[in-house]
Structure 1
Amino acid sequence: MPRRIEPEADVVRRIGAIATRLPEAREEEAWTGVRWRIRAKTFAHVMVAQPGYESAYRDLTGDDSIRTVLTFRAVGDELLALTHAGWPFYRPPWSPTIVGMVLDDDTDWTEVAELVTESYRACAPQKLVRLLDT
């Protein structure tokens, strides 16, 4: 089996800069890649989809390329819109509220910040969410 590829440090730093500014959010190593959590809930996870390892992205798209992907939570109209948006978004079948996004040279990092923040809002206790609005 090939060695597991980890996300580039710059990508982890960029997402971490967004995620760790949120109240009580923490960064930790995941089974692969890095995830950001609020208490026991993961609100963002970056990893590399690569041949030789399970990947919802590769299963859904048939793309055997090595791709860096970010998964996050979405709800309501945002979930519906992202589910039907097409590239770079996809919807893993293992959760009704998780959306994936391929990160590449064309990634809109302002959009990533908005999506990660909204994912946090969907996971965090309301008293912490209220801190974002003050």
Structure 2
Amino acid sequence: MKAAYGVSKSSDSKLAAQEAVDACMARLEDAAHAFAVMVYFGIDHDAAVIATTLAEKLPNVTVVGCSTDGEISSDGLSVDSVCVCILSSTKTTARAQRSLRTMVKTRKPQGPALRASWQGPMRGPWCFCLMA
């Protein structure tokens, strides 16, 4: 499996997603076999715009991610940026789905706010699975 990352500090969500993906693709040795994208972005970015842009640039690739209050990559700490990591392999696939069973063996967080985020807005956390 190969991985590459890209970071954009543009405040425009569409441009930032495009720049981050382009940076990944320039670094990725096997871009033709991209199967998964992990994206993390500052809270001032528009998640729907980022998701749409990634879907346009990387159709049929599983995308997971979330907003953050600081993004960490090999470039260091960024704030209000868009960080993208693309995974590529000829032998591995990925799938993302909501599942109530994914957290069964982990310790539940404490406090009402953490419990709410643990369960997520649609009654279950996201599960990201890599399958060889």
Structure with bigger RCO (C-alpha 8 Å, 6+ apart): 2
Structure with higher helix content: 1
TM-score by shorter chain over 0.5? no
Larger radius of gyration: 2
Could you state the TM-score of these two structures normalised by the residue count of structure 2? 0.28
